[in-house]
Structure 1
Amino acid sequence: MGALALTACQSAGQEHAPTPTGATDAQPAPALAAADGRDYAACADGNCEVLVPGPVTLPLDGRAGFNELVIHRVEGTAIHFDLRGAESGASGSLSMGCISTFHSGGNGSSCSTAPRPAPEPVDGTLAMQLADARDGQVVLRLVSGEPGPPPASLFPRIPVFRPHMPFGDS
């Protein structure tokens, strides 16, 4: 039986550096981008997509009853905020995958683990969504319809009790 010998060959003038353990060919994620960048004044009409790296106040034109959105902090993939208006306000947090909708009669939220498209504009409402989050920053999306009252379908129906009163000859 013969012995098999392996030898490393190297072309003249070429050095081969060892590949570091755990090295990957993955490209770094692109930087976060928002349609309106950091132009927070673009949010005045309740329709914008802005990059939020930390605390900021966004002026609003009173649509859905709110005059400003104050973002107190960005925490991972969530923001903590206050919505302020002349007659009403709201506060809370908003996370990736959720859409919060605010109007003069109240608010609501819906969340999903699947990617979600931008909410549809609804008159008299302000919808908030985080379009992306990374590296301590978020892309905040605001969507509003026309000014005015929200549709009646957003208000809970209050049952009307009508007592039955028998009338008779007595």
Structure 2
Amino acid sequence: MRLHLTADHYERVLRYLAAPTERIAFIYTRPAADGPDQHGVEVELLHDDEYTASDRHGVELADHVRPQLIRTAHEHDYGIVEAHAHLWRGPRTQFSDIDLDGLRELGPHMTWRLPGRPYIALVLGPDSFDALSWQTCSPASGIDALVAGEQVMYPTGRSGARLEAERS
């Protein structure tokens, strides 16, 4: 599966995530008509009051945020992508241990809440990214590529490899 974003959506997400404290951007997606790819259709950038805690090491969302995202996804038949940033460069870009601990529960929960739609998590580094994707009743897997406008980027695959090693 490839995740397609417009160049504008991708740039908006990058600018938002460049803040001195950690933030999470959300992208609503729709499936491609001819295959498994997902296309970003709307970007949701949270306001400061939608975080209960945020520093350079992590973030906590206000209680109303995830239910609101799920409600919007249900109303429009969207999938959801969450994105945050780390400063790891090149092939080192991956989800932190804390990220993975949360995503192990969140990914399956979100696909249970949004049956038939993927939940994708992105971690963006300065020059690379990694991603995990959940489908209903399936373990996490990677994505094939992130396409932002005309730019095609490939994930480091480190996070998926770590999860696969845990399952073995």
Same fold (TM over 0.5): no
From the CA coordinates, give the structure whose radius of gyration is larger: 1
TM-score normalized by the length of structure 1: 0.26
